[in-house]
Amino acid sequence: MPRQLRVWYPGAIYHIVARGNRRAAIFIDKQDYLEYLRILEDVRSMYPFLLHSYCLMTNHIHLQLETTLYHIQYIMKELHSRYAVYLNIRLKIEGHVFQGRYGARLIETSDYFLEVSRYIHRNPFEAKMVRKLEDYKWSSYSSYVTPHINPHVYKDKTLSYFNEPFHQEYRKFIERKNTNTEEQPCILK
């Protein structure tokens, strides 16, 4: 049975989730995280998109990604197939790096857009990997709440939902636990 086509239109925003095959690590050390981000930028030069937030966890990834001219399938296929080739060569293994098809939940409301941003940025804290969210190096969160510049992330849309001082208001929003139960972000099972 063929896979159902994903809804796409220029400007579609998604919460992308992908996990390592059999829940295995997809990032072993700093070199792997940096390579994923390098490939992401290379893919962005081929298929332009906006990345609103991201979090690269040990065995899965979260991207809040807005398409412009190209279908999400082209972006994700290029990104993950290139990363899989890289990791297989580096580890001298063969086979799938990612477990099945990536999840892509369409974000169609402002409330859900913000909930996804919160969920993505709280991921390392909820997994008890850090005590302070800005301490997690492989997330876009620190660039939202400090003067730190992150070339991978487009922050304007997200911060436009907050009053000045934007960075402090965003921090308060993220550090407050999620109370919206109507629309939940993609959660890995």
* Domain residue ranges in the chain: 13-105, 111-175
Q: Taking the model in full, what pTM does it have?
A: 0.91
- Closest residue by Cα to residue 51 from 112, 140, 159: 140
Q: Residue 55 is inside which H or E element, if any? A: strand 49-56
pLDDT tens by residue, 101-114: 899 999 999 999 99
pLDDT tens by residue, 34-75: 999 999 999 999 999 999 999 999 999 999 999 999 999 999
Roughly how many angstroms between the first and final C-alpha of the chain, as a whole number? 23
Q: Which CATH class is domain 13-105?
A: alpha beta
The per-residue pLDDT for 181 is 45
